[in-house]
Copies of this chain bind each other. A is one copy, B any other.
Amino acid sequence: MDWQKVLAERNTRMKASEIRELLKLLDQPEIISFAGGIPDPALFPTQAFADAMHATLTGPASGAALQYSVSEGYRPLRDWIAGQMAAIGVPCDADNILITSGSQQALDYLGKLFLDPDDTALVTWPTYMGALGAFNAYQPRYERLDPHSNRPVEALAEAASEAGGRVKFAYLSADFANPTGETLDRAGREALLDMAESLDIAVIEDAAYQVLRYDGAPVAPILALELARKGDLEACRTIYCGSFSKVLSPGLRVGWVVAAKPVIARLVLMKQAADLHSPTLNQIATDHVARAIFPEHVARLRSVYAARRDAMLAALAQHMPEGVRWTRPEGGMFVWLTLPEGMDGAALLAQSLKTEKVAFVPGRAFFADGSNGNTLRLAFSVADEAMIAEGIRRLGRLIGGA
């Protein structure tokens, strides 16, 4: 059978994620990995999940936990999330919340909700490569999102229209962004909201790392700033995507979306048609574990990851040669490295895996236009301080000798 004859055109845009392919390398114990943006499994609250699963599956609601459930998501979990959102400036109720299978699914659904072929999505340069992967299926074009630039928005609208579509949304990771580790400041967030108003587009705020702040003052979520302007969540254009993946467990695939009710209602229909609902038991167990240990567990993660970030920044200062620059994140899991002009992150990775046994993600895949090959992403979330020091030492040696 010649499958090309029956494939939809959108498939031409789908290709393997470098990150996912790289994850396969993590099984090799001799590699020091700064590659996957994954939490340290040694920090998972496994006992709390074991207890929650056991209580649920041996209790009176065991049948319900294994049964079909509503597409919106488990109501007690949505209520708990509503409480968390209120604490960061976004009071809302359960009808403003959809449970998704990780925030990756939220990005897929939002692409599906908004993007017709040749529409324009605004993304930062660089941006989360998984967002590009999710959106690509809906065949958009991309324009660079830079809230601090003075570029007039009319030019963006015009270019989008000439390309046969419309600007539909701006997507960004505002806190400790994947891949740069950088946080958009309040002025940038306000400028972004002004820009979204002018263009009359949605804002997708990816908050996957938001609670993982190690120092510095928190910046209000974009959705909180918009709500403060408008006084009513139903009038807001910002769509907030949260996740338990970086804090409790990525393997259970539980994330959420907070938005105005008409958006949630459409996403619920979409989810109904696409996978009915996220797994019932996973939502119940996440609810139990979140209620039991969330603040203490987050405090523990902050302390461990902050020490690893410090170890990485110290090692970079000690071992990187002249001409290499990097970010100094206040949270999250990533440091973003810029190599001297002309060096290539992908070539460096190939060499590094061979001679230094150090893994990272070359930066090119995070740029919608595949530019900036002289960058790379270092995750400090999995290796301990000693391994970080050793890995950065080797990497500095390699870059210095290259």
Contacts and interface: CB of A to CB of B under 8 A. Distances in A.
A251 B66 contact: yes
Interface in A245-293: 245, 249-253, 260, 262-263, 266, 269-270, 272-282
Copies per assembly: 2
A70 B19 CA distance: 11
B50 A66 contact: no
Contact of A166 (B6, B134, B169, B270): B6
Nearest to A200: B5
Interface string A9-51: 1110011110010011000000000001011011010110110
Taking each of A6, A14, A200, A277, which has the highest tally of chain B beta carbons within 10 Å of its own beta carbon? A6
Interface stretch (A84-92, A108-116, A146-154): A108-116
Nearest to A119: B8
Nearest to A278: B253
A308 interface: no
Given A41-B63, A42-B63, A251-B280, A105 B8 contact: no
Interface stretch (A52-60, A217-225, A344-352, A355-363): A52-60
A7 B115 CA distance: 7
A179 interface: no
A235 B7 contact: no
A236 interface: yes
A165 to B, nearest CB: 10
Interface string A132-164: 011011100000000000000000000000000
B23 A137 contact: no
A24 to B, nearest CB: 7
A279 B282 contact: yes
Q: How large is the interface on A (under 10, 10 to 19, 20 to 34, 35 or more residues)?
A: 35 or more
A178 interface: no
B262 A3 contact: yes
B62 A50 contact: yes
A213 to B, nearest CB: 23
Nearest to A58: B50
Nearest to A263: B3
B44 A6 contact: no
A63 B46 CA distance: 7
Taking each of A263, A270, A279, which has the highest tally of chain B beta carbons within 10 Å of its own beta carbon? A279
Contact of A23 (B16, B58, B70, B270): B70
A137 B112 contact: yes
A273 B136 contact: yes
A202 interface: yes
Given A104-B276, A137-B274, A272-B16, A57 B62 contact: no
A183 interface: no
A5 B67 CA distance: 38
Contacts of A188: none
CB-CB nearest 7 A-B residue pairs:
A41-B63, A251-B280, A50-B57, A66-B249, A133-B273, A46-B62, A53-B53
15 contacts: A1-B235, A8-B114, A8-B168, A14-B270, A39-B67, A47-B58, A50-B53, A50-B58, A53-B57, A66-B250, A101-B275, A102-B276, A108-B274, A133-B273, A281-B282
